[in-house]
């Protein structure tokens, strides 16, 4: 068998998409006008699939900080922190994120994906067991595989099923690591975190919460679901990314366990990945300050979210279980999802198209990410486009 034979199914799927004149997974973004508009294939398009929840990609203080960092420290670190040392900005950002969460320790990583790889594989090994929500992000699955630990999946957002599976582990449950997400990236639903913490406590297990999609979105200061639910001190590890609400790239983990520092030495992804450029660290620090005082942005974000969610619901779309800046319209077939995606694209709206097996329940979906930077007019245009396309999207193939 050829080394490349495994790509044949992918090639066939890609050819089928391209034959229809679209490429949902490689849209050529030729020029960025603002956090919510760009030129795609020569056409001015509303960006509604970027995870730019607070719209900070063009924030002036973030831009100024990035420019200054390039002038003062250059374009990159050219190596990992273990090999080339930690710049002052890396250390400052770690202190600021730890303070933001009222935690003792923090580690900054080069990407959010790397944060999960590094923390999970650093905490667990082949003697341990990890319990993960069935709808966990790919980076969580990959971190578990890299660790070599036994992996147990529990039913999505189901504390009772988690309890049963921990019970079956016997003595091993007391050293188990449970992993959940603040907001799940496919359907936009919150974790039932308080109930899960009660289960965790009853067995003496550890809990890691991935706040990638909830940082900046939930809580009075934007600290995510752990803040909204009042359980920051009860999560053993909180992981997140800079690439959504913080409008840059990178990741972090905070904890009150002093042993977190040993991840720096025990985790291959941390040891062998080049650290973030100074400009990225500088803009992230400014964005973190804006998030903490960003009640105005969150109010606008949720106003847009509730408006769009209700409109799509009233238009007959099957949606995720609750309003959230991640809004997923679920379709029964790939063809229906592709028709809807293409129709929105023709209306000048860019969203995400996602097919199984990345989606829960075997359905395809079109995913919108709402931004505080969207205008009321843009939200209305998105609503109008979905209404216009409702019958086309639901038509039988």
> For 209-252, what is each residue's pLDDT tens digit?
999 999 999 999 999 999 999 999 999 999 999 999 999 999 99
Query: Of 240, 193, 194, 251, which Cα lies nearest the Cα of 217?
Result: 240
The domain over range 5-54+295-394 is classified in CATH as 3.40.50.1820: no
Q: Which fold has domain 59-292?
A: 3.40.640
Residue 314 corresponds to which tokens in the numbers above? 């009233």
User: What is the C-alpha to C-alpha distance for residues 213 and 224, in angstroms, rounded to an integer?
Assistant: 8
Percent of the chain with pLDDT over 70: 98
| pLDDT score of 397 | 63
User: What is the per-residue pLDDT across 153-210, written as a single tens digit (0 to 9) for each?
Assistant: 999 999 999 999 999 999 999 999 999 999 999 999 999 999 999 999 999 999 999 9
| pLDDT score of 20 | 66
User: What is the per-residue pLDDT across 78-104, written as a single tens digit (0 to 9) for each?
Assistant: 999 999 989 999 999 999 999 999 999
User: What is the C-alpha to C-alpha distance for residues 271 and 273, in angstroms, rounded to an integer?
Assistant: 6
Roughly what angle, to the nearest 10 degrees, separates helices 88-100 and 278-292?
A: 20
With bands split at pLDDT 50, 70 and 90, how would you rate the model's confidence at 353? very high
Total-model pTM = 0.95
Domain assignments of the chain as residue spans, ordered by start? 5-54+295-394, 59-292
- The partner residues of 284 in beta bridges, in order of sequence, read none
Instruction: Cite the beta strand spans of 58-159 per DSSP E.
Output: 105-109, 129-133, 150-154
| pLDDT score of 392 | 74
Cα angle 195, 198, 204; round to 5: 145
Residue 141 scores a pLDDT above 90: yes
User: What is the per-residue pLDDT across 256-281, written as a single tens digit (0 to 9) for each?
Assistant: 999 999 999 999 999 999 999 999 99
User: What is the per-residue pLDDT across 57-66, written as a single tens digit (0 to 9) for each?
Assistant: 999 999 999 9
């Amino acid at each position: 068998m050829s080394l490349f034979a495994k790509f044949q199914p992918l090639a066939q799927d890609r050819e089928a998409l391209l034959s229809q004149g679209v490429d949902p997974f490689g849209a050529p973004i030729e020029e960025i006008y603002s956090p919510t508009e760009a030129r795609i294939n020569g056409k001015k398009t509303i960006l509604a699939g970027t995870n730019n929840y607070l719209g900070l990609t063009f924030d002036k203080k973030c831009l100024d900080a990035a420019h200054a960092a390039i002038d003062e420290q250059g374009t990159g670190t050219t190596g990992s922190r273990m090999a080339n040392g930690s710049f002052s900005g890396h250390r400052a950002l770690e202190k600021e994120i730890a303070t933001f969460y009222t935690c003792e320790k923090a580690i900054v990583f080069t990407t959010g994906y790397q944060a999960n790889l590094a923390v999970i594989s650093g905490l667990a090994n082949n003697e341990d067991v990890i319990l993960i929500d069935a709808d966990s992000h790919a980076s969580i699955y990959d971190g578990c595989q890299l660790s070599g630990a036994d992996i147990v999946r529990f039913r999505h957002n189901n504390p009772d099923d988690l309890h049963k599976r921990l019970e079956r582990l016997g003595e091993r449950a007391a050293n188990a690591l449970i992993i959940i997400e603040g907001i799940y990236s496919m359907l936009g639903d919150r974790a039932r975190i308080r109930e899960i913490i009660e289960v965790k406590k009853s067995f003496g297990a550890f809990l890691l919460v991935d706040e990638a999609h909830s940082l900046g979105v939930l809580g009075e200061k934007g600290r995510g679901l752990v803040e909204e639910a009042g359980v920051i001190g009860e999560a053993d590890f909180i992981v997140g990314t800079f690439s959504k609400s913080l409008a840059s790239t990178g990741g972090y983990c905070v904890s009150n366990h002093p042993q977190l520092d040993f991840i720096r030495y025990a985790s291959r992804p941390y040891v062998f990945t080049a650290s973030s450029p100074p400009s990225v660290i500088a803009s992230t620090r400014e964005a973190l300050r804006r998030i903490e005082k960003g009640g105005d942005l969150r109010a606008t974000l949720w106003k847009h979210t509730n408006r769009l969610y209700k409109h799509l619901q009233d238009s007959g779309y099957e949606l995720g279980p609750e309003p959230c800046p991640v809004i997923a319209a679920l379709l029964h077939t790939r063809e229906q999802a592709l028709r809807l995606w293409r129709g929105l694209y023709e209306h000048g709206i860019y969203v995400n198209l996602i097919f199984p097996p990345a989606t829960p329940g075997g359905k395809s979906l079109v995913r919108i990410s709402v931004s505080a930077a969207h205008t009321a007019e843009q939200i209305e245009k998105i609503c109008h486009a979905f209404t216009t396309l409702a019958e086309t999207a639901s038509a039988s193939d």
